[in-house]
Amino acid sequence: MSPLSFTLSLLPLLPLALGALDAQTVKHPHNIKNPHRSQLKRAITNDASQVDGKSFDFIIAGGGVAGLTLASRLSEWNNVTVLCVEAGGDGTDVEDKIDIPGYSYLNSLTGSAYDWAYNTVAQVDSGGGTKYWPRGKGLGGSGAINGMFWGRPAEDEFDAWATLNPNADETWNWEELNKYIKKSENFTAPDADTQSKFSMVIDESAHGSDGPIQVGFTSYIFDACAAWIPAWKTLGFSGIDLAGGSTRGAMFSTSTINTHNQTRSDSKAGYIDPLPPRSNLVILTGQQVTAVLFNGSSDASGNIIASGVSFQSAQGAQSYSVQANKEVILAGGAVGSPQILQLSGIGPKETLSDLGITNRLDLPVGYNLQDHVSYSMYWSTPQGTFTWNNLSTSADLKASALQEYETSRTGLWTYVNEAVGYPSMADVMDSDTEAANYATTIASDLDSTVSDVTSWLSLPSNVAKGLRAQYEIQQKWMTSNIGQLEIILTMLGKGGNEMGIQVALQHPWSRGKILINSTDPFTQPAINPDYFGVGYDIDIIGYGSAFARRLAAASPLSDYMITEVYPGASVTGDALNNYTKTNCGTEYHPMGTCSMLPKDSGGVVDTTLTVYGTANLRVIDTSVAPLHLSAHTMAPTYGIAEKGADIIKKKYWKVVETANTTTTASGSDDSASTAAPGQATDTSVTEANKNGSSSESSSLSSGAKIGIGIGVGIGAAVGLAALIFFFFLRKKKTGAASTEKGWYDQRNPAAGWDNGDGAYKEAYNGSAAGGQAYPMAAFAGPGESSGRPDAPFAHSRTHSVDTMATADLASRAPMRSQSGYGLSGSSTPYRDDHSDDGHGIGAGGMEHGHQYPAPTGGTWPGEQRYQPVQPR
């Protein structure tokens, strides 16, 4: 046999060899090639020295809503390493305050160490003083301290994000965002009696059912809330489900609540705590990222390459740094992310040069700030009306309600505000014609409004251009069904015997900015939302106040809301405007400070969420939202983060069609395997995906194509080497896994370790998949029997600091399955069953949780799997 024919005869083995190698590395929980892995189990630690000087594939700054979503999703494959750096604590010292829903209103973490406790600069158009601006500081971010509302905007509002980003690599419209919000959501409908008592409209099909975030309703709802939707109906509105793509109407908003034990479901409880040990994920708390590091190199297109981040626990404390093999991702939120960018030399040139910071990239970071501004009106209630004031003023009631909560997870402490509605401009003006006239005035004054805002805020010209595009959309919304105000029933009066209505502007015309005013990362930036800077905003909220008065007077709410106490029925016109300005504050929904917009329209990131001019630096959090929504911002942020994670996966893991696709191509993709930033562009992958089956070759780096073109003989030799390597690796890995295997076996003698292939199983159906691998959902809810020894609801965030006890964290976050709890149920809401990475689902087709849904819309191949390009 000639050498050539010998080589060719081995060719059929090549895909087999590489395929086997790929599958093996995908399945295995450890990567023995990384010497740090044994120390770096999926852990939450506050010991920065453990990671100092080390390198990670992905470094995430901020462990809030978006940050932990990304940390979880990106670490789903074991062959990359992920570090998430969070400035605040891990929450173990304030567990009750995070978990107990009612505490977020009556015993909240605002003002605590878990709050950045910012203040705005003096607000010249709203009373002249500063305004308090809380932001969550700790794992879970603002999602761990917030009011738990879970809602989506109207279709047109997400579609506007796509309109503002034409010809983009990635589409950000309703269909896309809603798909990803649903991916994060696990909805539980209230029982029929509750639905009927409160006139709720529930459309289960509009909600997600398999995501990590538990979404539902509180066990206790005040009787008076039953008057809410009927009163809106009296005014001619319908009751709707907030998830259906329209917000105009009245509803009970869903909350991020685990309905089976009535605890908050935040990003830590949903995306991190239920995970099995992940050797490739480290979450570091108590360290503030002070800068993104650059090593001076650029990619072929001149985009600068982020090489890592530095962090410190406090001013003057030791500074640490870590290196990024692939990407740095900022998820610090609407304040944190722009602050980090600016401190790193990416921001408005003038601002940075005034502070003596070298300007790497002149981008309008910190501009386009938009926030919902709101204030509350109060009415007296008839004697005997039971409200939150009863709870807030009685130590005895607080104690007995807490006891009830602890024993049965019912009662007053489960309640959070839920009754809301979104009227359009015509609704609040009470006339289509008036709304149309108002819209006409706005249109004719558009140029001068843009010019005024540009001058007040010293906007760069590209930001002014983007502002105009946003205003044109907002102007059209004046005559549409888009909600212009959120109207919220609040059961907590200013004094006793009161109920309130909060009026919140949803589409502010005012714009603000967040700019650093010091090179010290521990000095808060100057936050200027410029509330009521543009006069339309005070007009619109004034119409909203008039609407609230009509609503309070509408039957049957009028039975509960008797006399307007604040500001008082006689306060109208300028007096009402002054009252509003003085008493207003943030509704806690800032966004836009790292806007996803075209670069010539004030964009900071493109539609792949990559910072313009960088190869591998992204922002993925609320700050990228370019135009505000008639919705609270948490659910949209989960959608942004889920999509962001998939965008990254598309770049580093080649998307291939199902079965029969060899891994030869992916294994040869040098650009991704060496993770050289910028070589495998998002655009190329997106294009490849659009091209369906041709994606395989078109997504290859040119180096890989050449390699395949000329390297048949060499490839066969590589195949041989790979075969040998594979057998060697497989043997070693089985051994390396033994500690973990033992650990599982010990905890779960019913099996859970597949001795056949050395991989752990992430499956839950005992008979079908060999038993549960993890003690997930280890306790039962009220009235349910799991047969487990754990006390009902027992859980602890404390265990999260113990590396190998991370699986125990399941007991901290009981994940509901459709028929009970994970262990005894047939499915769990969040599992990576490896069906998308070649590991297959359980026998009998059982699907045990998370799978990447096949994207719809025809732009991608109907079915896909991600494959890591090469083991690291």
Ligand X SMILES: Cc1cc2nc3c(=O)[nH]c(=O)nc-3n(C[C@H](O)[C@H](O)[C@H](O)COP(=O)(O)OP(=O)(O)OC[C@H]3O[C@@H](n4cnc5c(N)ncnc54)[C@H](O)[C@@H]3O)c2cc1C
Question: What minimum distance in Å lies between the beta carbon of 343 and ligand X?
Answer: 8
Q: Which is nearer to ligand X, 285 or 462 (CB)?
A: 285
Query: For residues 764 and 65, what is the distance between their CA atoms, to the nearest angstrom?
Result: 27
Q: Reply yes or no on whether 589 is catalytic.
A: yes
DSSP for residue 105: H
β-bridge partners, 610:
618
Q: Residue 702 corresponds to which amino acid?
A: S
Phi–psi pair at 84, nearest 5 degrees: -115, 125
For the chain, helix (H) and strand (E) counts, in that order, are 29, 33
Rounded distance between C-alpha atoms, residue 648 and residue 824, angstroms: 35
Beta carbon nearer to ligand X, 110 or 173: 110
CB of 42 to ligand X, least distance (A): 18
Q: Give the three-state DSSP class for 620.
A: coil
Cβ proximity to ligand X: between 626 and 667 the closer is: 626
- Residue whose C-alpha is closest to residue 641's, from 11, 57, 84, 26: 84
State how far the Cα of 677 lies from the Cα of 680, in Å rounded to an integer.
7
Q: Quickly count: other Cβ atoms within 10 Å of residue 724's Cβ.
A: 11
User: How far is 871 from 30, CA to CA, in rounded Å?
Assistant: 11
Sequence-separated (6 or more) residues with CB below 8 Å from residue 690: 859, 860
Angle between helices 461-477 and 432-444 (to 10 degrees): 160
Select 47 or 863, whichever has its Cβ closest to ligand X: 47
Closer residue to ligand X in complex, CB, 66/869: 66
Token pair, residue 552, equals: 């309070």
Identity of the residue, 87 or 369, whose beta carbon is nearer to ligand X in the bound complex: 87
- Which residue is catalytic, options 207, 260, 632, 795? 632
**Shortest distance, CB of residue 109 to ligand X, whole angstroms?**
8
3-state secondary structure at position 424: coil
Rounded CA-CA distance 389/412 in Å is 11
Name the nearest CA neighbour of 92 among 235, 269, 214.
269
Identify which of 836, 723, 834 has the alpha carbon closest to the alpha carbon of residue 16. Answer: 723
Distance from C-alpha of 487 to C-alpha of 420, rounded to nearest angstrom: 6
Place of tokens 């359980």: 842
CB 829 within 8 A of CB 211: yes
Of 417 and 699, the one with the shorter C-beta distance to ligand X is 417
Report the C-alpha gap between 688 and 695 in whole angstroms: 4
Least separation in angstroms between CB 591 and ligand X: 7
- Shortest distance in whole angstroms from residue 546 CB to ligand X: 25
| Closest residue to bound ligand X by CB | 64
Handedness of CA 229, 235, 240, 245 (dihedral sign): negative
Q: Name the DSSP letter for residue 142.
A: G
Structure tokens at 92: 């173990």
Nearer to ligand X, 320 or 726 (CB): 320
Shortest Cβ 642–ligand X spacing (Å): 12
Contact 622, 636 (CB under 8 A): yes
The residue whose two tokens read 């709802």 is: 221
Q: Give the ranges where 497-572 is alpha helix by DSSP (H).
A: 536-552
- Pairing type for strands 585-586 and 564-566 reads unpaired
| CB neighbour list of residue 396: distance below 8 Å, 6 or more residues apart | none
- Indicate which residue of 589, 628, 795, 850 is catalytic: 589
Residues 6 or more apart whose Cβ sits within 8 Å of residue 548:
377, 487, 501, 503
Q: Which is nearer to ligand X, 98 or 704 (CB)?
A: 98
For residues 558 and 329, the answer to whether their CB atoms sit within 8 Å is: no
* DSSP H or E stretch at residue 759: strand 759-760
- Output DSSP code: residue 518: S
Tell me whether strands 346-347 and 513-515 are parallel, antiparallel or unpaired.
unpaired
Q: Which is nearer to ligand X, 46 or 851 (CB)?
A: 46
Which run of H or of E encompasses 821?
Answer: strand 820-821
Nearer to ligand X, 288 or 462 (CB): 288
Q: Which is nearer to ligand X, 491 or 635 (CB)?
A: 635
List contacts with ligand X (CB under 6 A): 61-67, 85-88, 110, 134-138, 141-143, 145-149, 288-289, 331-333, 336, 340, 588-589, 621-622, 632-635, 637
Q: Which is nearer to ligand X, 60 or 773 (CB)?
A: 60
Rounded to 5°, the CA angle 607-608-613 comes to 90
Listed residue (501, 649, 469) closest to 77, CA to CA: 649
Report in angstroms how near the CB of residue 66 gets to ligand X at its nearest.
3
Helix then strand then coil, % of the chain, to nearest 5? 40, 15, 45
Active site residue 28: no
Neighbours of 796 (CB within 10 A): 14
The residues annotated with a catalytic role in the active site are 589, 632
